[in-house]
Amino acid sequence: EAQVTQNPRYLITVTGKKLTVTCSQNMNHEYMSWYRQDPGLGLRQIYYSMNVEVTDKGDVPEGYKVSRKEKRNFPLILESPSPNQTSLYFCASSDGTGYEQYFGPGTRLTVT
């Protein structure tokens, strides 16, 4: 089954404690992206990757890091999380044209 998986689905952490949210896709897609969803703001892009070892900033990259060492994986790293990063995070992938994106189920992060 074609899918995008994210782990963990729920995470509660404290300010400053480094964390990683994993994202993996099994569709051999070149393009992957991370979004955060906040009430009233829709989805905002954090980072995206057009292919292995190629990443670029989206609209709200501050406080986040990503890496793309393998085509299927695109982890999101918060080196020093802060409460304003409490949000619902989605990973997505597409075949590279940017048209239809396939979304993961989301990760709800709470930073206290």
Partner 1 sequence: GDSVTQMEGPVTLSEEAFLTINCTYTATGYPSLFWYVQYPGEGLQLLLKATKADDKGSNKGFEATYRKETTSFHLEKGSVQVSDSAVYFCALVYSSASKIIFGSGTRLSIRP
User: What's the CA gap between 64 and 109, in Å, rounded?
Assistant: 13
The residue ranges of DSSP E strands in 1-112, in sequence order, are 4-7, 10-13, 19-25, 31-38, 42-51, 54-57, 65-66, 76-78, 87-94, 102-103, 107-111
For residue 80, the minimal CB distance to partner 1 (Å) is 26
- 61 in contact with partner 1 (CB under 8 A): no
- Binding of partner 1 by 41 (CB under 8 A): yes
The answer to whether residue 48 forms part of the interface with partner 1 (CB under 8 A) is yes
Q: Which spans of this chain sit near partner 1 (rule: CB under 8 A)?
A: 4, 31, 33, 35, 40-45, 48, 50, 56, 58-59, 90, 92, 97-101, 103-106
